[in-house]
Amino acid sequence: MSVVIGLAFSACSLFSGAGRGRREVHIVTVDNNVCKRLKEKVVIYGVFVDSKVGGVWSTHDVRSTMDSMRIAADWIEAQARMQGIDLVIEVASHEKGGVVPVRSELPRAGLDGVIRGSNPSNLIDRWADKACRQVQSSFPRDTASITLTKNMPKDRERLIARLRDLHGTDNVALMLFVNNYHGSESSIALHTGSTDRIEYAVVAFKRPAVIAHEFLHLFGALDLYITPYDSKKEAEKRKRFAMDRFPNEIMAFPFRGLDSLQIGSLTEYLIGWRRELTREDAELLAGEKVRFAKY
Ligand SMILES: [Zn+2]
């Protein structure tokens, strides 16, 4: 089974922050972590990770996946233009100008199995850190100042700091690709609502719509479709409603072709293209009890 999920481990941490009286609510993924608002210059950085379970990348596979990244980026740029948003997305990778093999073994269960198992984000983080360390060490000697405040940055934090320096932007969307021939792997965006762990996505599909979907998660978008991880009836009901309300929404239908999809008003708010939620979208998220923050 193929699934694309975003907040599998943190669906109930959707809201945070409370004041007196009528609460003002911030959605934890919005304007948060490395990828804040989807505006101005943004880099989507692909890391192609070889592994026994996930497969090995050929030059052809890398090239076709980077083509898909470009198609996804062009589509998002076009959506931004329609909203009058200034956005340029640069597609980059450690493979540029010669193959730099990166290898990090997935647990035998593969990505699907890890996600369904216990403590998945720790396992995937370790796997991702190992891959990021190799990418980082393939660069010329590091003279960049690490701008993050931590004393002991993890490998993917070091890599992000370096990429920010190299590309001259804070907005670096890190995507690790698993070469999956069989279409049976999941894709996932991790730590999008975190304040202390760097967010990134792991993608096992070459489809531009899936890449765009995960990319939007990194900038705060939420899943608007029913995943196998939805246990609460209320969440399911909300998502069913969202799918009716946004019949062409990329966060609801990531397995359709990009040409038939669009970015709906709720996602626009989440990624920073709209200052405030529409009333209908706010009700969809939380009923009438709360007031959502304006950005
Ligand atoms: Zn998703």
Tell me the pLDDT tens digit for each residue of 117-149.
888 889 999 999 999 999 988 887 665 555 444
CA distance 79 to 63: 24
Smallest CA-to-CA distance from 285 within 241, 219, 233 is with: 241
Between residues 292 and 57, which one has the greater pLDDT? 57
Cα–ligand 1 centroid distance for 278 (angstroms): 22
Distance in Å, CA 243 to ligand 1 centroid: 13
Measure 70 CA to ligand 1 centroid, in angstroms.
19
**Which residues hold their Cβ within 5 A of ligand 1, which is an ion?**
4, 6, 223
**Does residue 184 surpass a pLDDT of 80?**
no
> CB of 284 within 8 A of CB of 245?
yes
Q: Are strands 200-203 and 187-190 parallel, antiparallel or unpaired?
A: antiparallel
State the pLDDT at residue 12.
29
Whether residue 87 is predicted with pLDDT greater than 80 in this model: the reply is yes
The alpha carbon of residue 200 and the mean position of all alpha carbons in its chain are separated, in whole angstroms, by: 6
What's the rounded mean pLDDT across residues 74-80? 98
> What is the per-residue DSSP string for 134-158?
HHHHTSSP------SS-SS--HHHH
Q: From the CA of 217, how far away is ligand 1's center (Å)?
A: 7
For the cut 80, the answer to whether the pLDDT of residue 228 exceeds it is no
Q: Is the pLDDT of residue 224 over 80?
A: yes
CA 151 to ligand 1 center in whole angstroms: 32
Looking at residue 15, what is its pLDDT? 41
Please say whether the beta carbons of 193 and 32 come within 8 A: yes
Quote the ligand 1 centre to 24 CA distance (angstroms).
25
Please state the domain count of the chain.
1
- 232, pLDDT greater than 90: no
d(CA 5, ligand 1 centre) in Å: 4
C-alpha to C-alpha distance for 218 and 243, rounded to whole angstroms: 21
Domain containing 43 equals 4-292
Q: 94 alpha carbon to ligand 1 midpoint, in Å?
A: 25
Q: What are phi and psi of 155, to 5 degrees?
A: -60, -40
Q: Are the C-beta atoms of residues 177 and 204 closer than 8 Å to each other?
A: yes
CA 295 to ligand 1 center in whole angstroms: 23
Residue 88 CA to ligand 1 centre (angstroms): 23
Q: Which residues lie across from 190 on neighbouring strands?
A: 200
What pTM value is reported for the model? 0.87
Does the pLDDT value for residue 18 go beyond 70?
no
At residue 175 the predicted structure's pLDDT band, cuts being 50, 70 and 90, is very high
Q: Per-residue pLDDT averaged across 208-213, rounded?
A: 96
Report the range of poorest mean pLDDT among 6-10, 76-80, 104-108, 186-190.
6-10
- Give me ligand 1 centre to Cα 152, in Å: 30
